A and B are shown apart, each in its own frame.
Chain A
């Protein structure tokens, strides 16, 4: 036990004190912050050149009033189009907008003309169309003698409020699904990255020990199993440390940078809402939604989700990194040669990742349910489902199965490892690994 502790300590300390670790741990959140700032600035960016636009309002739809926009100034002119066009350079206009008379009030299409030496940019194009549409609406309401209030009443916003079938279950609000999907997705992605980064780290480290031949000295002092377990636990602790630091630093950096650069995260939200399908989003609603989201976020059962997340983190990590350790022990100096051995490990991880993406959309589908119980997938799929409050029996079954499988795989890998680390100059196949399982000590 003492020796195992010594090994864990060395594996942990040599890694966390390495310059590359410190850099990666600190630079990743900074990179996130930078990405956030850049993305924020990009979304906030509107054309910075000011434009002056002359409007020829042939049908007097605007009644000579239009609001100026930042960097965009409108002016109604009475000069005729031909004069304006011919003397375009003398007038200090960037464009001439011609809004023709409305001939048929019932027409649903109306073409307006924009004369300029340069194409209108997308945001100007959108802005102009938006202005004219709004004005056209008011114009038509008047022309058709409609009642604006009645018109208002026609449009109905439908909200779906999920209600539990019995009184015991928690009442979910309409946002629960979205929030849970967000958290589930993030957790699933973290698990996926963790398994790969740290599993690979274990594999590379086992390989180095073997090729540098230190391993023979080591196992004349400790059991191969102790060495392998010590390495897995040590690297796992490194992983927890790194993820914990990121979990603290990334939100802080994003908060600080948004304050420093005055980035409003709702700018990004607005951008997202301009995507098709998310249209007709009332800005006034956004605030209420955010408040509700925060409420929802708080109401999630974090006392269950966080410990469970750590459990699945460790379970998945032990399960996969022990397999990576076994493969690492079988590899020789040639990294490329052994690479094919990692394929059987990476396939379930990648499959689990895709199932996870489906699972956050349909968390109670039978695919999601059974995948979150199957131990090779559960470390990635179950954390993604946790925020949807899955039935207790599913979580318990998943936990028990994962714990048992992880222990079994560590033991199994230990049997391959002890043979692999002493085997040199042999091209190893999967079949060979299977045989090693049954070798006597």
Chain B
């Protein structure tokens, strides 16, 4: 729990980030995401409650095992890229030689080896973002927290960072990914937690969450006429020539419906359950 003067920002939020997974921290603006992240990154302390990292209560050594890229990003404008990255890496506990080697490795990976002596202010915003990403991951943290990591990036660089996130996950890094771009969550995250007004609304595996919120909707495409009485047990949501969206009472009903159609000689081209998008779930839960 974290309360600011007369205002409780985060209250009774509890979730677990499985090690080595990509975890979506979702919530509308002002839900308390940033306050929560600041607690996890040890920037502020919770008034009540505890955060465990790898089974250990959050302590003063942990900042070195966390990499945090805030939504509002910034770098020292007058510093040179190489110097800047070295400085941030050393503050995360890397030795000077270690830091240099790792930074060089990352710069090579991003094809920006020749930026070492460039000043930060000479770089475009997107370029600075790459630097920021390197700064966040260079010390190989156990936990990576990315707040809107793709904002301001072009599609090429978005993919570049996305690939890196996946490959870091493959190396066993746990990643908390905060955003309100639901299509990105759907694409990247395995687990999510949704918080609203400082409380968590739902939590779990993306597939399980979707399953929980499904409305037994099915879409089917067919050819020919639909016989009379076929749809009396299902609720038609939408009907167009050759296409139909229905809602059934239970998931198993769908099989009954399909069988009945096949039995009556309807040529079924496609029969598919429609799962709610995270976007829909988000909007429904938040309102």
Contact = CB atoms under 8 A, between A and B. Distances in A.
Interface of A: 3, 6-7, 10, 14, 18, 212-222, 422, 435, 439-441
Contacts of A439: 5
B58 to A, nearest CB: 12
B52 interface: no
B88 A217 contact: yes
20 contacts: A6-B90, A14-B79, A212-B76, A214-B74, A216-B43, A217-B68, A217-B69, A217-B70, A217-B88, A217-B132, A218-B91, A221-B64, A221-B88, A221-B91, A222-B91, A422-B38, A422-B43, A439-B5, A440-B45, A441-B45
Interface centre among A6, A217, A222, A435 (most CB of B within 10 A): A217
Given A10-B87, A221-B63, A440 B77 contact: no
A14 B43 CA distance: 26
B65 to A, nearest CB: 11
B142 interface: no
A211 to B, nearest CB: 8
A3 B43 contact: no
Contacts of A422: 38, 43-44
Contacts of A213: 70, 72-74
A441 B44 contact: yes
Interface string B36-69: 0010011111010000000000000001101011
Interface in B23-38: 38
B135 interface: yes
How would you classify the secondary structure of chain B's contact residues: helix, strand, loop or mixed? loop
Contacts of B47: 440
A3 B70 contact: no
B243 interface: no
Interface residues of B, number: 29
A6 B91 contact: yes
Contacts of A18: 78
Given A7-B91, A440-B45, 17 more contacts: A3-B91, A18-B78, A213-B70, A214-B75, A214-B76, A216-B68, A217-B70, A217-B73, A217-B74, A217-B132, A217-B135, A218-B91, A220-B63, A220-B68, A221-B88, A422-B43, A440-B47
B102 interface: no
A7 B42 CA distance: 19
A59 B43 CA distance: 97
Nearest to A13: B83
Contacts of B78: 14, 18
B92 interface: yes
User: What are the nearest 9 A-B pairs in CB distance?
Assistant: A213-B74, A214-B74, A212-B74, A221-B91, A220-B68, A441-B45, A213-B72, A216-B70, A220-B41
Contacts of A6: 87, 90-91
A416 to B, nearest CB: 15
B84 to A, nearest CB: 9
Interface in B67-107: 68-70, 72-79, 87-88, 90-92
Nearest to B73: A213
Contacts of B73: 213, 217
Contacts of A217: 68-70, 73-75, 88, 132, 135
A219 B47 CA distance: 19
A441 B47 CA distance: 8
A35 B279 CA distance: 72
Nearest to A221: B91
B167 to A, nearest CB: 23
Interface centre among B47, B64, B70, B135 (most CB of A within 10 A): B70
A226 to B, nearest CB: 9
A18 B80 CA distance: 12
A14 B78 CA distance: 8
A49 B79 CA distance: 59
A54 to B, nearest CB: 71
Nearest to A212: B74
Contact of B43 (A212, A214, A219): A219
Contacts of A10: 87
Contacts of B64: 221
Contacts of A212: 74-77
Given A212-B75, A213-B70, A214-B76, A220 B43 contact: yes
Contacts of A218: 91
Nearest to A441: B45
B74 A221 contact: no
A439 B92 CA distance: 27
A313 to B, nearest CB: 27
Contacts of A216: 43, 68, 70, 72, 74
Contacts of B5: 435, 439
A6 B96 CA distance: 11
Nearest to B91: A221
A212 B72 CA distance: 9
Contacts of A214: 74-76
Nearest to B42: A220
Nearest to A7: B91
A217 B76 CA distance: 11
Interface in B1-36: 5
Contacts of B42: 220
A435 B5 CA distance: 9
Nearest to A15: B78
Contacts of B132: 217
Nearest to A222: B91
Nearest to B37: A220
Contacts of A222: 63, 91
Nearest to B64: A221
A431 to B, nearest CB: 12
Contacts of B90: 6
A215 B66 CA distance: 16
A408 B13 CA distance: 37
A315 B5 CA distance: 34
Nearest to A210: B74
A88 B16 CA distance: 110
Contacts of B45: 440-441
Interface string B110-148: 000000000000000000000010010000000000000
A224 to B, nearest CB: 8
B205 to A, nearest CB: 28
A221 B77 contact: no
Interface centre among B43, B66, B92 (most CB of A within 10 A): B43
A435 B4 CA distance: 11
Nearest to B147: A216
